[in-house]
Amino acid sequence: MHDYLTRRDYLKAAGLTLAACTVSLPATAAAAQAKPTMPNMIVIFTDDLGYGDLSSFGHPTIRTPNLDRMAAEGMKLTQFYTASAVCTPSRAGLMTGRLPIRNGMCSDKRRVLFPDSAGGLPKTEITIATALKKHGYATSCVGKWHLGHLPEFMPTNHGFDEYFGIPYSNDMKPSPLVKNLETIEEPVDQHTLTKRYTAQAERFITANKDKPFFLYFAHSFPHVPLFASKDFEGKSPRGLYGDVVEELDWSVGRILETLKKLNIDKNTVVFFTSDNGPWLTCNIRGGSAGLLRGGKGSTWEGGMRVPTVAWWPGTIKPATINTDITSTVDIFPTCLDLAGAAMPTDRIYDGFSLKETLVSGTKAERELLFYYRGTKIYAVRKGPWKLHFITQAGYRDKPHKQDPPMLFHLDHDPSEKYNIAAKHPDVVEEIIADVEKHKATVKPFPTQLEKRIPKNKKG
């Protein structure tokens, strides 16, 4: 049995306060106060989906009607970034609201965790699930975890009531399907994965419709190898990659439909985004960053700017296009703010709450964005400007030090074509000073990605 406050309990308690307030407040203010408190929150996280892979983000042949409708009914965030251009550190940033450099979830040698890794997200880190569970939320993680597959690092030991998914990337062997801590299928049949993840997510939503919940739904696709179910295979003009993305779109449609059917859509905030840009070295099996330069593994825009939509019917103004600089590290403070939970005060956070941006359209607070690769800062964005200190063309290419650094104006030049550093030495200097200020706040945590399980032990 859960001992959460049910939504009815909570609203009953809140109703007393509201009744007292309405005596002196005008009708509109009273209505504003009646907005759902402790809304449900869902983060749908895809793997390696590029900025240009949805029809609403410009893809000419991949059809994503559900995501397009989600954007039409909600907010499209066109300058939303991940904490890293590869899986593990990106997920660490999302889950903790902190840059991976602060929790050891990055390395210059091993970019991500592998099945022989002995490390994971440190127990000292607070995940969104831990924080929300403490605040009365039911919590579930469905899909790819990739923050440590040994029991102590698994979702059920990081604040989630339940887990169902592959604990790392779908190209890593063995590929087990795990329920909580138990392997239930190995190797998993990946053709049915998106469907089974979706069924699990729908089950959790339905079971928790009367109490606040947080669902972290992290798809294993369109990371390679690509698999679609029979219903989608061979259907997209874009080929198998398109089939896979169209099935993900179907899944999003199912989730939104379930919320509507249960009549909890107005109480539920849904974010849709991706963990990093498209894996361009996979050629036709990889996605597209659209007009952005670079892809997965790179700190060019295509590596870290991802297609993002927020949906909250009745609260977010439909068809909003938000061009503020926002990030996955903003999700943690946003979720806590929406829940009415206080931020922990014993550590540094890198995110800002987007609550007012979603509710009232207020400009997001972020001015600076750091593009880390491993433990190093490769680039920095400040307002429309982006300064590159080191660049790397693709996933496996060598890094190139840019001396002097290269400067681009992203609002004018989203494809990063025209280096205008020579014309703006003052901007370059200002950003270099910002980097020094930022570095002074960072005490790097020892990397957790290089620890390995001894060969004679099974992970």
CB of 47 to Mg ion, least distance (A): 4
Per the CB < 8 A criterion, the answer to whether 296 and 277 are in contact is: yes
φ, ψ for residue 337, nearest 5 deg? -65, -45
CB of 282 to Mg ion, least distance (A): 12
Q: Is 191 a catalytic residue?
A: no
Cβ closest to Mg ion, residue 7 vs residue 223 = 223
**How many Cβ atoms from other residues are within 10 Å of residue 19's Cβ?**
10
Contacts of 6 (CB under 8 A, 6+ apart): 210, 211
- Provide the 3-class DSSP secondary structure of residue 42: strand
CB of 163 to Mg ion, least distance (A): 19
Cβ closest to Mg ion, residue 170 vs residue 208 = 170
- Which one from 146, 149, 158, 388 is the annotated catalytic residue? 146
Cβ closest to Mg ion, residue 170 vs residue 258 = 170
Point out which residues bind Mg ion (CB under 5 A).
47-48, 87, 275-276
Please compute, for residue 218, the number of CA atoms within 13 A of its CA located in the half-sphere on the CB side: 28
CB of 290 to Mg ion, least distance (A): 17
CB of 144 to Mg ion, least distance (A): 8
Cβ closest to Mg ion, residue 303 vs residue 351 = 303
CB of 86 to Mg ion, least distance (A): 6
Question: What is the DSSP code string of 430-453?
Answer: HHHHHHHHHHHH--PPPPSSS-B-
Please compute, for residue 315, the number of CA atoms within 13 A of its CA located in the half-sphere on the CB side: 23
Q: Is 146 a catalytic residue?
A: yes
Pairing of strands 177-179, 182-185: antiparallel
- Provide the 3-class DSSP secondary structure of residue 247: helix
Cβ closest to Mg ion, residue 49 vs residue 126 = 49
Cβ closest to Mg ion, residue 36 vs residue 155 = 155
Any idea which residue has 């997510």 for tokens?
201
- Which one from 59, 87, 149, 335 is the annotated catalytic residue? 87
Q: Which of 447, 349, 308, 371 is nearest to 95 (CA)?
A: 349
* Residues shown for the chain: 459
User: What are the Cα distances from residue 281, in Å, to 82, 291, 389?
Assistant: 20, 17, 23
Q: Show which residues are catalytic.
A: 87, 146
